[in-house]
Homo-oligomer: A and B are copies of this chain.
Amino acid sequence: MKDGGAKRGPTSADKVLGVLSLFTAERPVWSPERAARRMRVSLATGYRYFNTLVAAGMLEKLHRNRYVLGPAIVELDRQVRAADPVLKLAQPVMQRLLRRLREPAAILLCRHYRQKVMCIHQETNRSGEAVSSQPVSSYERGTLRPMFRGATSKVILAHLPARAIVNLWRDHRREIVATGMGPGFEDFKAALRALRREPVNVSSSEVDEGRTGIAAPIFDATGRVNGSLSVVLLSPPASARAVTRLTIAVQAAAREIERGRGAAGDKGSKK
């Protein structure tokens, strides 16, 4: 991705960890042989990598020649959830907000991760009711979305520190321009300034067709964006009045989450 003067090659552990990112939705099963070829290492080393990862529980041998991501990942994600103070605060707030809505909707908690936006938690009010009907939001814990489309993303994008904005422009100029945020860097910054002026962002059909997202940023104690909270509606809002009502509710929920921080870290740890 970024390359400001390659000092030294990837370390051994880098490559072992890199194996994990081979496992995608399109190809969830890998053999040591194929992985070795892909990573440009010998077959023996491919087996060594796989054995290391299996020993750590990060991979699991399904059959013969077929490996999938392993249970250690499930266990680690449980640790992540248990240790995430924002999630703990947000969950009841999200459930309360959802209960006030009288239509199919999803509430999303998201954060930014590597020039993208990741969903951390989702609450839905149609859990398994109508089986065949389409879901309100394709977003789900662990899924990524582009930084430039959708209320959820844009509200985070708008408040990113200057350094991050510069990097985004450098790495995704094409995409930014395609989204209509001006042909030049100055236009981009102006668009972000405009986004910042509104306490929430409302966008329609930018991620999922027909859906409307209403999102508010969540800031941490130091004033940096920590993520966003959003409501996704299945159908377009009935009226401008309805939008206003939701806007206020989302904003209030975000403030409530922010208010809860402070009891999260143990500061008394003597290194």
Instruction: Return A176 CB to nearest CB of chain B, in Å.
Output: 23
Tell me, yes or no, whether A118 is within 8 Å of chain B by CB: yes
Contact in complex: B141, A78 (CB < 8 Å): yes
Neighbouring B residues of A12 by C-beta, 8 Å: 11-13
Contact in complex: B69, A73 (CB < 8 Å): no
Contact in complex: B83, A14 (CB < 8 Å): no
Known: A14-B52, A17-B58, A52-B14. Is A141-B29 also a contact (CB below 8 A)?
no
On chain A, the number of residues with a Cβ less than 8 Å from chain B's Cβ atoms is 64
Task: Name, among A111, A118, A128, the residue most crowded by chain B CB atoms within 10 Å (CB to CB).
Answer: A128
Which residues of A does B touch, CB under 8 Å?
11-14, 16-18, 20, 23-25, 28-29, 31, 33-34, 48-49, 52-53, 55-58, 62-63, 65-66, 68-83, 92, 95, 99, 111, 113-114, 118, 120, 127-128, 131, 140-144, 265-266, 269, 271
Contact in complex: A33, B271 (CB < 8 Å): yes
Contact in complex: A82, B29 (CB < 8 Å): no
Neighbouring B residues of A17 by C-beta, 8 Å: 13, 16, 52-53, 56, 58
Contact in complex: A83, B265 (CB < 8 Å): no
Contact in complex: A95, B24 (CB < 8 Å): no
Instruction: Return A39 CB to nearest CB of chain B, in Å.
Output: 13
Neighbouring B residues of A144 by C-beta, 8 Å: 75
Instruction: Return A107 CB to nearest CB of chain B, in Å.
Output: 12
Instruction: Return A177 CB to nearest CB of chain B, in Å.
Output: 27
Known: A11-B52, A23-B79, A127-B127. Is A120-B65 also a contact (CB below 8 A)?
no
A83: contacting residue among B69, B71, B75, B131, CB under 8 A = B69
29 contacts between A and B (CB under 8 A): A11-B48, A12-B12, A12-B13, A14-B55, A16-B16, A17-B58, A23-B76, A23-B79, A25-B83, A28-B79, A28-B82, A28-B83, A29-B265, A29-B269, A34-B271, A63-B265, A65-B271, A66-B265, A68-B83, A71-B111, A71-B118, A73-B80, A74-B118, A75-B144, A76-B77, A77-B141, A78-B140, A78-B141, A95-B128
